[in-house]
A and B are shown apart, each in its own frame.
Chain A
Amino acid sequence: MAATRLYIPALAPIYDKLTPFALPILRVGIGLILIPHGAQKLFGWFGGMGFEKFVALFNTLGYRPGVVWVTLVALTEFVGGILLVLGLFTRFAALALVIFMIVAVHFTSGKGFFWTAGGLEYSLLILFVGLVFLIRGGGEYSLDRKLGREL
């Protein structure tokens, strides 16, 4: 990529030093924000209502059988979140997340765009950040990189 010149060249060493961490921070970030959601569903942690009540909720929302959907969603959030943090099987986790978020965008679109009204914007941002790691894989500071193999 043709490098852009900096208005303040003195900043270049800072940018250069931080650059290898930029995508790993994003990967760890998206993983960490997902984990509480999965734990709320699987274990009732983080003030969640637990598996049984989520199953009932999903059934009333029309995602039947609720047991299957809650299990899939919670594993995507909890296990997928951990895998993204570690950068292990990154593209598997990202693929599951992207599929989940396509459904989530569709579901939340019923309430419009703005998140403050329950709209789709948050799911949309997660979807596209998930896409980054579906395309790019684990990258630097990932277990995938350590293992030397990935999807």
Chain B
Amino acid sequence: MPDSPKLLIPALGRLYALFAPITEPLIRLIAGGSLAYHGYQILFGNIEGAGRFFESVGFENGLMWAWIVGILEFACGISLAIGLFTRLAAGPIIVFMIVAIVTYHWENGYNWESRGIEYPLFWAIVVFHFLVRGGGRWSADALIGREI
């Protein structure tokens, strides 16, 4: 970047340059990994319980939704975490977050402590980054050399 600002402490520049390439792969890993853990919890934890939860918040055929959400979270989460078909995974995750906000979290207000919208909203914003950028460095997409 030719027009990067001058650093008040120039010596820190080397530190920044050293770590810059890993910052985005790290948030991809965290955002995807957390989502996959949610999906794992539904699929391999208590799918009947998840089904009852979806019915309690107004989804008919809750067990079907538990499977859909569980598979989406688990598969797209792993896909995002390792950066494989990154953009293909990012799209459904963002749609899922928006649906979750509109159908459930909205009525819980803003704060995450009361299951409000802020975390799913932030999650969607983070994932949007990878919808635009793709897998980037340290991703399976980069390893393969092709992506969506």
Contact = CB atoms under 8 A, between A and B. Distances in A.
Interface size class of A (residues with CB under 8 A): 35 or more
A114 B53 CA distance: 16
Contacts of A137: 4-5, 16
Interface stretch (B62-70, B91-99, B135-143): B135-143
B26 interface: yes
Interface stretch (A25-33, A61-69, A78-86): A25-33
A125 B3 contact: no
B148 A125 contact: no
B135 to A, nearest CB: 7
A60 to B, nearest CB: 16
Given A113-B37, A116-B115, A148-B6, A4 B133 contact: no
Interface in B90-148: 109-113, 115, 118-119, 121-123, 125-126, 128-129, 132-137, 141-142, 144-148
B24 interface: yes
A29 B122 contact: yes
B145 A128 contact: no
Nearest to A140: B1
B34 A4 contact: no
- What is the interface of chain B mostly: helix, strand, loop, or mixed? helix
A102 interface: no
Contacts of A126: 122
Interface string B17-54: 00110011011001100100110010000000000000
Interface of B: 3-9, 12, 16, 19-20, 23-24, 26-27, 30-31, 34, 37-38, 41, 109-113, 115, 118-119, 121-123, 125-126, 128-129, 132-137, 141-142, 144-148
16 contacts: A1-B137, A2-B142, A5-B146, A15-B134, A25-B125, A25-B129, A114-B37, A125-B123, A128-B30, A129-B126, A131-B23, A135-B19, A135-B23, A137-B4, A145-B4, A150-B6
